Chain A
């Protein structure tokens, strides 16, 4: 089995996790910028974090033979400080040409506030001006439905945005239709409690098809499972899905979307 981990916060994971992922067939890992679990107090903190994502972490992954890619942004959990968010967005362009940077992400909303939405739209503008792919985080739990709809509406209102170059992540049964119907890609995140189980993800694959859909672990510093993607593949096989369908979901689909960046090149 081979697979892409399209969303993992490896700076929070151990070398044991890298070893397990590669052993399970992981061919590449993609790391969106995210919230560290605490608010950073200055733009310098983000500068260092972006260096970690584009310089240090690729070297750590390379020790296990794993190509590492990244996405850059300020996470919506830190978007209430609009001044700081603006300063962080201003330093992102100097990192965009780095060889492992795939685009802007994971941007989005957390509590669906006006400031979060304003910072989200600034990120979308940045991506549009620099022709970058966009990876979107949708809010947690009770806030997901509303936040997803607010962002779908904002993106549809911006004529510069091609929905085929945007993935809206963490969809569940109540949001997947509106995302796919609007032409966006959708990501299903496999978490033990919040978001989605492997069984529910495979249900959605069976209900909505494999087109413009990927699955990821979004493993980070919280309760999460770095091997969630290959476990979901096992779930597909247990239900009788052919090996080609499994490969489409966990390898070909991420390659198809990410290759639009022009940088997602894997070793032959």
Chain B
């Protein structure tokens, strides 16, 4: 695909997602209370978008992932949250 074709197909959809993202961050800022590990991870992941390396999707996913290698002792929940709670 040419860049023009990519833009023709995906610009409007991505523009809408970008504005949704901005509105989400505004909503978080307006809300009372403290940040939790999810929004901290989210803000870290956002910095990946401005880097020139083309593997942005992969880097965003990695930044939200558990980086450890060993199995945990036992599962205390079945759910995933979307971000690694133990990130510094």
Contacts and interface: CB of A to CB of B under 8 A. Distances in A.
A115 B75 contact: yes
Nearest to A142: B84
Chain B: interface residue count, which band? 20 to 34
B16 interface: no
A145 B74 contact: no
Nearest to B38: A142
B73 to A, nearest CB: 6
A5 interface: no
Interface stretch (A40-48, A105-113, A210-218): A105-113
B66 A143 contact: yes
Contact of B55 (A112, A139, A173): A173
Interface residues of A, number: 30
21 contacts: A35-B78, A111-B76, A111-B80, A112-B71, A114-B71, A115-B74, A139-B80, A141-B83, A142-B64, A142-B65, A142-B66, A142-B83, A144-B65, A145-B61, A145-B66, A146-B69, A173-B55, A173-B57, A174-B65, A199-B10, A239-B1
Interface of A: 35, 77, 80, 110-117, 139-146, 149-150, 172-174, 199-200, 203, 238-240
